[in-house]
Amino acid sequence: MRQERSLLTGGARLVAGMDEVGRGALAGPVSVGVVVVDAATRTAPQGLTDSKLLTPAARVAMVPQLQRWGVAWAVGHAGPAEIDAHGIVAALRLAGRRALAQVRRTCGDVDVVLLDGSHDWLSRGDVDLFEATDLDPAMSPDVPEPAVRTLVKADLQCSSVAAASVLAKVERDGLLVRLARQYPAFAWDQNKGYSAPAHLEALRSHGPTPQHRRSWNLRALADDGAPASVPGAPAVTLDAALPGGMMTP
């Protein structure tokens, strides 16, 4: 909490740690977790670290503690169609802003966001958030912009960022497990939408589903003549699978 406490003693009332998961996946959403802390927030639960360094069971077991630990928490998502239409960076921005809109309902405006990495993909630039205000009224341009501080390996140095990474990872993994029931050939319950051998083989055999990021040249992974979509598979949207129906079709 050294980074967070430095910002809090420097005048910030609320500091949010933020981290993303699913950026490199072939299928499913990109998901962004956020955990808000303030000057009264105590030391994080024991064992908390970057989600990639925890076992799946340890991550799941830690979720209830993390949900109680901070002032507020949320996970925002942007789906495959949004990634295809607007690119991964814009989709990350939308997912992050959806997460901030959720915590805003609980604790108000966040003053500073601690972002893992060296690139600020959260701040609204000159590019319009592809009609994001139509998709999410809570993301009105009138909402104050939080300051953003980037830090490489923040998920190892900042408890709030590590907590955000765990919550986002667990929620996205659960979503892919549920989607795997609709598309069992792709083994998403095991690979979570990433390019594991079973996933690539299913792409070659069946072609992409509505949950795949088709702009990512998936056809290059398939044999010539593979079908464009899984025959007979229901066109389940992420709206049905995500809590709160936050995804657009």
Mean pLDDT by runs of 10 across the 249 residues of the chain is: 94 96 95 97 90 92 95 97 93 94 95 94 66 50 84 90 96 97 96 93 92 78 43 38 35
* 63, 75 Cβ separation under 8 angstroms: no
160 DSSP assignment: H
d(CA 91, CA 108): 23
The pLDDT of residue 136: 52
The pLDDT of residue 52: 87
* 240, 92 Cβ separation under 8 angstroms: no
Q: Where are the beta strands (DSSP E) in the chain?
A: 15-21, 30-37, 72-78, 112-116, 147-151
Residue from 200, 142, 141, 164 nearest 76 by CA: 164
d(CA 219, CA 213): 11
d(CA 67, CA 70): 7
Here the contacts of 125-129 (C-beta below 8 Å, separation 24 or greater) are: 127/90, 129/90, 129/93, 129/94, 129/97
Question: Do you know the residue count of the chain?
Answer: 249
Angle at 108 between CA 107 and CA 109, to 5 degrees: 130
- Could you tell me the CA-to-CA distances from 68 to 6, 30, 35 in Å, in that order? 22, 24, 10
d(CA 184, CA 166): 25
